[in-house]
Each structure stands twice: as C-alpha cells, then as structure tokens.
Amino acid sequence: MLIAAPTMRKVMAVVLIGILILPLASASDVNLSELTPLSSQNLALNAGDVSPNGNTVLVVGSDGFIHGISGNEPGNRDKDISIDSGRSASFNDVAWHPNGETALIAGELGATLRYVHSNQTIESLNGATIVNGIELTNVEWRAGGDLAYFGAKNGNIYSFNEGEGLSEIEGSMNSTVTDIACHLEQNICVLTTLEDGIGVIDRTRELTWISGTSSQTWMGIDCPKAVLYTCTGFASGREYLYIRLDIEDASRSTGDLDGNGETEAKELKETDGDFIKVSPGFDGTTLVHMAPMESVRYEPKLNEIFQHLPSQELISFNPTIAGESIMLMWEKGENDGWMLTNTGKLVRITPDETTPSLGIMETIVFAAVAISVPGVIIGLIYMNVPYLQRKYRQLRGFDKKK
C-alpha cells in the first residue's frame, strides 16, 4: 500500500526532529551541591592528584601548602591530613607513585620533594641540586613506577629514580612544560609546552618532538585509556589533537592520522571558553577544565568532546564559585564525582535522576542510528514515489529497448 505524500512528509518530519534532538539529549544533566571547603580562608591551590586506590587526594599550592583529603568523602574535614612541608615555596604539581605509598611534588626554587603516606612526612629527593633553583612545573610517574619525569618553566625535562637521582634529559626545548602524561600500561610518556609543541619520551628516556605541533599553545595532555595506544593534547583556542603512539618506536608517534603529511588538530566550536587544564574522568575519559569556569568530557574512542558542566549552570548554582577556576575533578561514575576549585571550595556532582541522560555508549548507538536513518528515509521515499522510480530506471537505461 502506498503512503500518501502528506503522510510521508509528516513521518519524515518526525524522524528528522528526532535526529536533531539526539545531540541535545547527550548533554550531561547533573545536580550540584556545595560541600565544606578545605579552609575558612581562600587558599591558592595549584594542583592535586588522587591516589591509585582512590582513597586520598593530595593537593598542593602556594606558600608550601600540602594537604590530604578523603577521595570518597572530601567534604568531611575530620578525615583531612595536615602536612607540614617546612617550605615556603609555591608547589605546582603532585603525582602519586603507582603503588600509592609515596608521591612526588614539584615547585618553585627547584623544589623536588617526596611525600611518604605512612607517616605524612616530606623528604628531599636524591640529586635535587642538579635543578639549581629552576622552577619545576610538572611531575609524573610512568606506568612501571621505576621512573618519573619533571618538567620545568625554562623547558628543561628531568628524569628521576632513587638510584640515579635527578638527571636532565637531552633534547629539551626552551618554553615552559605545561603538562606530562604517561600511558597507563606502556612506559611511554608525552609532554606539552607553551611554544615548542608536544614531545614523546620512549622507554630509554629518548625525547623526540611530534612534527606540526609547535604552532599551538598546549595547556594539557592525557592518555586516559589503557587499551588505546593514544594520547590527546589540548591547546589554547579550544584545539585538541589525537596522537597515535608507536609502541615499538615511540619516536614515530604522530598526530598525522590519515598519512597526508599534515598534523591537524580539531577545534571545539560549541563554546566560548578556552582549555586550561585536564583531569582524569570516569571510564577512560578526560575532563577538560575551561575558562571561564566550565568543563567538557573528551571520549578518546570517538575523538569527540561532550558537554559536562556548562558555565551557565555553574553561574546559576553559585556565582562566586563560577568566578573561580577548576583545580581538580575526579569521579567514581559517569557524572558522579567532585570538583575542587583553586581557592579550596568543594562541589559534589551527581547525575540528575529526574532527567534522562545518555551515557557515552548510548550516544554512540544514537549516532549510528542518526547516520543510518537518512538512508532508510530515502529508501521509503523512493519506494513510494513512482516518479522517482521511473527517473531512476531511465538514468540506468532499464527502459531502453534492446
């Protein structure tokens, strides 16, 4: 039975509307609630890291500030760990060892310290004098836990293990190292800089630079998925670059995914903010901090970015908090976690149970549907419009006499 043209148009309209609302349905719907801040005074926090077991969050900041909070009940001040660093320098980064027993700290005046969790003490690292007062901006352990890397404001990069102490790596550039990330299973690490692009450090500590990456101002990088041999860099201007790691020869890692000789970053256009930092998200995703305050979620399997915390939602929740910046985020489920600001304010994030929201996998399914539905529509139109069938037969020559 043929479907009347007006009826067909109605069916098409309904399906097309359904397709159009799919991206909106994938936007995160969350509830926000404010928890007891770390201090009654505004702090100046610079970085934080969650222990491998998720139980302790170590945060560092100005004036030698080091503090531990519960990773599961961060609003409970009775579970805080007060740590006396005995220093006055500003600390810029912290990284837990994979065994969760110690953490390394990097900061001003060449600060290279180790936090020992069992007795909450701070120790100086072996060979720290080689840094010679240079400000250190980042620190990260590689997967095996046998080697850590420090990045510096002047572009220097140092490796560390207890036997050798600190050693400067050859091939360093001159601009500030903004972030260091390591693959979760392979002993390969990547780093970002303000002006010199993205570097890759292989298993033997050899540093190479990815071509075509020096034109961006890179702010952060993450390698969130163990099963993927990839990392993603995030640059000012809302650009992000998917990097394929070469596990056999890290020097051949590339951002040129289609082999055309060009490294092309993608641009997030659906917001006016800018990338400033990253935190690990749930299930191998990356939470990207933005300024003005908001966040988005990066899904490496899709190489796409999804809405997480819109700035308008944060402004409606608390304008004071919205005027600060996100220092750290961590999750125990999708859209189920916490946000810590640079002044020490804590916000609980939970899924909005009253509004159906789609997870990443549901979004993938709906995207596949959105791609296939137009073909179904075209097929239905063809089957129900004799004129199109005649034109098709004419074009293919089926109606010609033999």
Whether the predicted pLDDT of 115 surpasses 90: yes
Do 143 and 106 lie in a common domain? yes
Last residue of a domain, one of 172, 205, 237: 172
Contact 294, 329 (CB under 8 A): no
Instruction: Print the domain residue range for 162.
Output: 44-172
The model's pLDDT over 333-349, given as tens digits with 9 standing for 90+, comes to 999 999 999 999 999 99
Residue 5 sits in the same domain as residue 61: no
For residue 11, the model assigns a pLDDT of 44
**Nearest Cα to Cα of residue 15 among 386, 359, 7, 306:** 7
Let me know whether 52 and 158 are in one domain: yes
Whether 96 maps to a domain, the answer reads: yes
Please tell me whether residues 8 and 87 are part of one structural domain: no
| DSSP 3-state of 320 | helix
Place of tokens 């934080």: 48
Please indicate, yes or no, if residue 222 is contained in any of the structural domains.
no
Which tokens is 95 given?
A: 């990284």
In a domain, 298, yes or no: no
109 within some domain: yes
Averaged pLDDT, 369-390 = 57
On whether both 73 and 113 belong to a single domain, the answer is yes
Number of domains in the chain: 2
Residue 49 lies in a domain: yes
Q: Confirm whether 364 is domain-assigned.
A: yes
Whether residue 6 is found in the same domain as residue 92:
no
- The model carries a pTM of 0.83
Q: Give the CATH number for residue 122.
A: 2.130.10.10
What is the reported pLDDT for 380?
54
Domain membership of residue 207 (yes or no) is: no
Is 97 in the same domain as 8?
no
How far apart are alpha carbons 170 and 106 in whole angstroms?
Answer: 20
Residue at which a domain ends, from 143, 172, 201:
172
Determine, yes or no, domain membership for 373: yes
Domain boundary at 132, 149, 172, which?
172
48 and 162 both lie in a single domain: yes
pLDDT digit string, tens, across residues 190-206: 999 999 999 999 999 99
On whether the CB atoms of residues 377 and 369 are closer than 8 A, the answer is no
Name 47's bridge partners: 60
Q: What is the mean pLDDT of residues 266-294?
A: 96
Q: Which of 136-150, 156-170, 366-380 has the lowest mean pLDDT?
A: 366-380
Q: How many CA atoms lie within 13 A of 299 on its CB side?
A: 15
Contact in structure between 265 and 222 (CB atoms under 8 Å): no
Co-location of 159 and 51 in the same domain: yes
Cα dist from 236 to 48, 81, 192, 315, whole Å:
21, 35, 12, 23
Inter-residue contact 164 to 152 (CB < 8 Å): no
60 and 15 assigned to the same domain = no
pLDDT digits (tens, 9 = 90+) for 224-250: 999 999 999 999 999 999 999 999 999
In contact, 316 and 304? CB cutoff 8 Å: no
pLDDT in tens, 31-53: 999 999 999 999 999 999 999 99
So what's the pLDDT on residue 394?
Answer: 58
Do both 72 and 22 map to the same domain?
Answer: no
Average pLDDT (199-219) is 97
Q: Are residues 63 and 22 in the same domain?
A: no
Reported as a pLDDT band with limits 50, 70 and 90, residue 288 is very high
